[in-house]
Amino acid sequence: MDKLVIRGGNALTGQIKISGAKNAALPLMCASLLTDQPVTLHNLPRLADITTLADLLNHLGVEVTIAAGNGNGAGRTMLLRAENIADTTAPYDMVRKMRASILVLGPLVAREGVATVSLPGGCAIGNRPIDLHLKGLQQLGAEIDLADGYVRAKAAGGLKGGKIHFPMVSVGATENLMMAASLARGTSILENAAKEPEISDLARLLNAMGAKITGAGSERITIEGVASLRAANHPVMPDRIEAGSYAVAAAITGGTLDLLGARSDMMGATLDALREAGGFIAETAQGLTVGADKAGLRGINIKTQPYPGFPTDMQAQFMVMLAKADGASVISETIFENRFMHVPELARMGADITVAGPVATIRGVKVLRGAPVMATDLRASMSLVLAGLAADGETVISRIYHLDRGYERLEEKLKAAGADIERVPA
Ligand code: EPZ
């Protein structure tokens, strides 16, 4: 398994092109199951999770072809065509690799009237149940059975419109049910729906395919079911978490980065927190220019919340920045029950962080010291990269396959911005 070797201390400068968003691309790819016509996605990032899902869709009968990017760093174009569904079962050995595979459940049962999907199981950051997905499908008329580690959804006469109130906000459940309801008979209402920009991106594709969805991006989404969906072309939105991660890289190294393609209208809470901590952000015609004020960084308090609140996917990255800020900070993680796996690794680099349940207290230190550390999950591994960039000395990060799931060409982008970083085969 490869490792990353980082020698810290360089201030990052220059441009970084933000790739298409992983968390938009995954549901967009699943939407191809809803029609026998071709769906073309542009600006697709080159990520392990995208490949994993493409393999699963291929297993189900979707013909997936990828055209290479046009060379200037633009994302790839992917054509997906589910002319016929060859298999309505998503097997454990494929689903276990990536939780988002559960997003084939709604489209499959809507298209074929039956779907058998392996329960995704948990992951490092929590047990990640899917009860909201299943209850929602039942409210659209599906029969749900759980057996042998699989969920089987059946709707022999097709799904019917229904009213679904989510007791808690769930991005994946909102996406699964928005896709399923698109082909249901009648109108569906999703209340307390997730409002993430990725939900709106998915609704844009579905409506381009002929769906009738209004209210995406708000807590109440209305879907008027249609008999069938057609071909569509869709550009994947830029990755707001990748952009936020590189914004922290600029601030924590005392550099200045132009984040090409970053969208401030999707990053409100992240940018507000960055400004409050002493970062500076300027909007440009190409995206955002980000760095740290001369006065340096100072401690702030953060509470992760569903969009438009501070994103849980930015929590680990901000913790690193606050570990070197002047003063104390408190981070409350309200979305996942175990998303502080990066704390022991940061402590090995000299960070002063104490955790009590869902709350971490960080006391800023002047210096982080490079050390051998281990990645545990996607965003935690990015926080270790950021710590290595800001630390004195050398940091060696193992298990970086976590990084490859969500950050396209990471070391290439950072090296071009002046980082002393290289990937070495273990
Ligand atoms: C999506 O995961 C993202 N993944 C996650 O990003 C992100 O952290 C999360 O939304 C929250 O923003 C993708 O989009 C592929 P949820 P998802 O359903 O849909 C609980 C990353 O790093 N819940 O909004 O799985 C759940 O356990 C990843 O890119 C239930 O209890 O998240 C969690 O505590 C990590 N029952 C909370 O809700 C359910 O049926 C939010 O989960 C579903 C969820």
Quick one: pLDDT at residue 73?
60
Residue with CA closest to ligand 1 atom 16:
170
Cα–Cα separations (whole angstroms), residue 398 to 211, 249, 375, 377, 385: 44, 20, 6, 12, 11
pLDDT, one tens digit per residue, over 382-401 is 999 999 999 999 999 999 99
| Whether the predicted pLDDT of 318 surpasses 90 | yes
In this prediction, residues 216-236 reach a mean pLDDT of 98
pLDDT at 338 over 90: no
**What number does the ligand 1 atom closest to the CA of 133 have?**
40
Omega prior to 308 cis, within 30 of 0: yes
Residue nearest to ligand 1 atom 21, measured at CA: 313
Output the CA 339–ligand 1 centroid distance in Å.
12
Enumerate the active-site residues: 123
Mean pLDDT of 332-351: 95
Inform me whether the pLDDT recorded for 48 exceeds 80. yes
Distance (angstroms) between ligand 1 centre and the Cα of 171 equals 6
- Residues with Cβ within 8 Å of 109's Cβ and at least 6 positions away in sequence, in order, are 115, 137, 142, 153, 154, 155, 159, 180
User: Which of 294, 296, 285 has its CA nearest to residue 258?
Assistant: 285
Amino acid identity of residue 308, one-letter, is P
Q: Which of 124-128, 150-154, 374-378, 419-423 has the lowest mean pLDDT?
A: 124-128
Which of 52, 313, 314 has most ligand 1 atoms within 8 Å of its beta carbon, as the pocket-test mutant? 313
Report which ligand 1 atom has the smallest distance to the Cα of 100: 15
Task: Find out whether 324 and 309 touch, Cβ atoms under 8 Å.
Answer: no
Please choose, from the candidates 422, 281, 413, the residue with its C-alpha nearest in 3D space to the C-alpha of residue 14.
413
What pLDDT shows up at residue 279? Answer: 96
Dist CA 147 CA 230 (whole Å): 34
CA–centroid distance for 99 within its chain: 11
Ligand 1: distance of its center to the CA of 417 in Å?
Answer: 32
Mean confidence (pLDDT) of the chain: 95
- Summarize the confidence of residues 176-201 as an average pLDDT: 98
Q: How far apart are the C-alpha atoms of 137 and 276, rounded to whole Å? A: 42
Residues with CB under 6 A from ligand 1: 23, 26, 99-100, 126, 128-133, 168, 170-173, 312-313, 335-336, 378-379, 406
Min mean pLDDT across 294-298, 379-383, 394-398 is at 294-298
pLDDT of 282 above 90: yes
Distance from the alpha carbon of residue 367 to the mean position of ligand 1, in angstroms: 34
- Is the pLDDT assigned to residue 103 strictly greater than 90? yes
Measuring CA to CA, which residue among 13, 99, 23, 7 is closest to residue 56?
99
- Rounded mean pLDDT of 158-170? 98
Mutate to test the pocket of ligand 1, among 335, 378, 382, 402 (most ligand atoms within 8 A of CB): 335
Specify the pLDDT at position 426. 74
Q: Whose CA is nearest to atom 41 of ligand 1?
A: 170
Instruction: Quote the ligand 1 centre to 284 CA distance (angstroms).
Output: 32
Per-residue pLDDT at 71 exceeds 70: no
Mean pLDDT on 239-259 = 98
The whole-number pLDDT of residue 295 equals 85
pLDDT of residue 72 exceeding 90: no
- pLDDT for residue 67: 85
Q: What pLDDT, on the 0 to 100 scale, is given for residue 294? A: 82
d(CA 54, CA 378) in angstroms, rounded, equals 19
Ligand 1 pocket: which of 138, 171, 241, 404 to mutate (most atoms within 8 A of CB): 171
CA distance 406 to 212: 31
| Neighbour tally for 88: CB within 10 Å | 21
pLDDT for 15 beyond 70 = yes
Mean pLDDT of 98-108: 96
**The length of the chain, given as a count of residues:** 426
